[in-house]
Amino acid sequence: MYFAIAMLAVAIGYFAFTVSQGAATYYLTVGDLVGGHAETGQRLRVAGKLVQGSFQREGQGLQARFSLTDGTHVLPAVYEGTLPDLFFSEEAEIVLEGNYGQDAVFYTTTTPIVKCPSKYQAEASQQGVSPPSS
């Protein structure tokens, strides 16, 4: 009986570990990607901030060209589709998912995720709590 309980506990622990690993969102910074920490053609996520003035859309089409930066490195990117309004915020961190091409351009295939920490930092400072460091 103790053996069965121990096996059940191990199985539940393994299941919890597997689920938490799959739910974690991993991404590279622009510097990591440009610095050669990923192979071309590999599906991955990359995070950075929009380079102001880099956004271009041809005519009425949906294809957008823009660049992301980590403050040091710049990564040109292409996305076809509509973009969230917060995409153009200077404070927003943008996470793209797609493929890094041999032409050193990141081709994103899903809607970009926009993370805007300013709202949470403002709330924390109003409450006298310092925002978490990352």
| Segment 27-81, tens digit of pLDDT | 888 988 888 777 777 789 999 999 999 999 888 888 999 999 999 999 999 999 8
- Quickly state the pLDDT bin for 17 (edges 50, 70, 90): low
Give the span between the Cα atoms of 49 and 51, in whole angstroms. Answer: 6
SS3 99: strand
Nearest to 65 by CA among 108, 97, 32, 111: 108
Give residue-wise pLDDT tens across range 81-113. Answer: 888 888 888 888 999 999 988 899 999 988 898
Q: Which residue has the higher pLDDT, 67 or 6?
A: 67
Range 26-126: architecture per CATH: Beta Barrel (2.40)
Give me the residue spans of the domains in the chain. 26-126
